Amino acid sequence: MKELAIIGIGQTPVGEHWAVGLRDLATEAIWAALDDAGLDGADALFVGNMLSGEMAQQAHLGALIADHAALAGIEAVKVEAACGAAAAALRQAVLAVGSGAAEVAVAVGVEKLTEQPPADTTAALAMAADGDYELPMGLSFVGVGALLMQRYLYEHRVPKEAFARFPIQAHDNAQHNPHAMFRSPITAQQYADAKMIASPINLLDSSPIADGAAAVVVTTAERARRLSDRAVRLLACEVGTDTVALHDRADLLWLKGVERSTKKALARAGKRHEEIDLFELHDAFSVIAALSLESAGFAERGCGLCHAQRGDFGRGGRLPIATMGGLKARGHPVGATGLYQVVEATLQLRGEAPEPLQIPDARVAMAQNIGGSGATVVTTILERMEG
């Protein structure tokens, strides 16, 4: 496998894009990334997306978006892995360029969740879970997260309020991110008063339904050095899986997919936990933030919250997380999210994060995109490219 780099990034604001369709959102992000790379095309396009069929009655996104972006003719396919679709598309770009099959590949994640009424969107998102054995029982995707959170509260004997730390910190960061959906801080009192969606998950435990697109341009490290002085090395992009149905896991509170994907990525990158300077984690629900930190090995089992309380994961802590607002406050356009994370990590490594979000001297960043409740996990490790 060749050494790889990201030489261009692009993102649209996350929010409710009533006036813009899927293909335009994706095209905007693709060309932002290509312009950033100083390129006028690519050999391959991998489109991460979960719900174009259900939300926009549109399949066949690869060719459609390649054509709309005036890239018609190149290899282009859609990659779907529920909320992990975007990073899974990046994985395909990595395989394509790493193998030598392509010189330059673009991975774009795009999602429009505002096309349908809320109950239909809720039903569509629930498709990340088991369609034969979870959905017919009335379970929603928030419900899946709630089953995890209820068990977490029970097994680890933590107070529900302790989870407030994650959304408060996410909102605090997002207010400085011009692309974020929620740009205002929240308080512990607002968290305590928030409306219940699926107990114990309330509105402020949950990332919002949103539209958005983000893209990166991947090429070889060798070529990157010639083309750009802002490239970052793409050390690893590794996939781990677990059962789709939550009930098939003997231990609900250990995300094996996270553990597997993290271990593979660290091994591929040749890095240790201590070398990671920031972690763009998949805080779709506040409990997933805690479980990700624990299963990835950044906190002991059951201790994600206590480390968070101590400030370990804040901007000045040992491992800043969700530095641009995370899924909770930047927003969670599901099939695009994984590439927002990678774009944000790249900005950090380039030293281009908006103040005061820039992590000083950030050298190595990890981004982790989760499909479903942990069934598909894609962990990406990036490193600043030294002169």
CB of 208 to other proteins, least distance (A): 13
Q: Residue 346, SS3?
A: helix
> Is 17 assigned a catalytic role?
no
Residue 138 in the binding site for other proteins (CB under 8 A): yes
Q: Report if residue 158 touches other proteins, rule: CB under 8 A.
A: no
Judged by CB under 8 A, does residue 122 bind other proteins?
A: yes
Of the candidate residues 18, 57, 73, 132, the single one contacting other proteins (CB under 8 A): 132
- Which position among 17, 83, 237, 282 bears the catalytic label? 83
Q: Which is nearer to other proteins, 127 or 221 (CB)?
A: 127
Where do runs of H (alpha helix) occur along 38-177?
A: 52-56, 61-68, 85-98, 118-125, 141-156, 165-174
Tell me whether residue 147 or residue 382 sits nearer to other proteins (CB atom): 147
Give residue for tokens 């790889």.
4
Pull the structure tokens for residue 120: 């239909």
* Nearer residue to other proteins within complex by CB, 20 or 127: 127
Q: Which stretch binds other proteins (CB under 8 A): 38-46, 149-157, 176-184, 348-356?
A: 149-157
Q: Which of residues 31-90 bind other proteins (CB under 8 A)?
A: none
Whole-angstrom distance, CA of residue 312 vs CA of residue 374: 24
Q: How far is the CB of 353 from other proteins (least distance, A)?
A: 34
What is the C-alpha to C-alpha distance for residues 148 and 142, in angstroms, rounded to an integer?
10
Please identify, among the stretches 84-92, 113-121, 227-235, 364-372, the one whose residues bind other proteins according to the rule CB under 8 A.
113-121
- Residue of 15, 53, 67, 150 interacting with other proteins (CB under 8 A): 150
User: Minimum Å distance from CB 153 to other proteins?
Assistant: 9
What DSSP state is assigned to residue 327?
Answer: I
Options 17, 171, 307, 332, the catalytic residue: 332
Residue 291 beta carbon to other proteins: minimum distance, rounded to whole angstroms: 13
Cβ atoms < 10 Å from Cβ of 231? 25
The pattern of x and - marking residues 227 through 266 that bind other proteins according to CB under 8 A reads ------------------xxxx---x--------------
Distance in Å, CB of 381 to other proteins, minimum: 31
DSSP label at 89? H
Which amino acid is residue 186, in one-letter code? I
Minimum distance of other proteins from residue 139's CB (angstroms): 5
- Decide if residue 126 touches other proteins (CB under 8 A): yes
Residue 291 as a binder of other proteins (CB under 8 A): the answer is: no
* Bridge partners for 155 per DSSP: none
Question: How open is the CA angle 93-70-34, to the nearest 5 degrees?
Answer: 50
H-run or E-run covering 193? helix 188-193
The nearer residue to other proteins, 243 or 358, going by C-beta atoms, is: 243
Of 222, 216, 236, the C-alpha closest to 350 is 216
Assess 196 for contact with other proteins (CB under 8 A): yes
Kind of pairing, strands 201-202 and 196-198?
A: antiparallel
Annotated active-site residue 306? The verdict is no
What token pair was written down for 135?
A: 């959905």
47 within 8 A of 89, measured Cβ to Cβ = yes
- Under the binding rule (CB under 8 A), the answer on residue 159 touching other proteins is no
State the DSSP string of 222-291: HHHHHH-SS-EEEEEEEEEE--SSGGG-S-TT--HHHHHHHHHHHHHHT--GGG--EEE---SBHHHHHH
Cβ–Cβ under 8 Å, residues 286 and 205: yes
In the complex, what is the shortest distance from the CB of residue 334 to other proteins, in angstroms, rounded to a whole number? 15
Residues designated as active site: 83, 332
Point out which residues bind other proteins (CB under 8 A): 118-120, 122-123, 126, 130, 132-140, 142-143, 146-148, 150-151, 154, 195-201, 245-248, 252
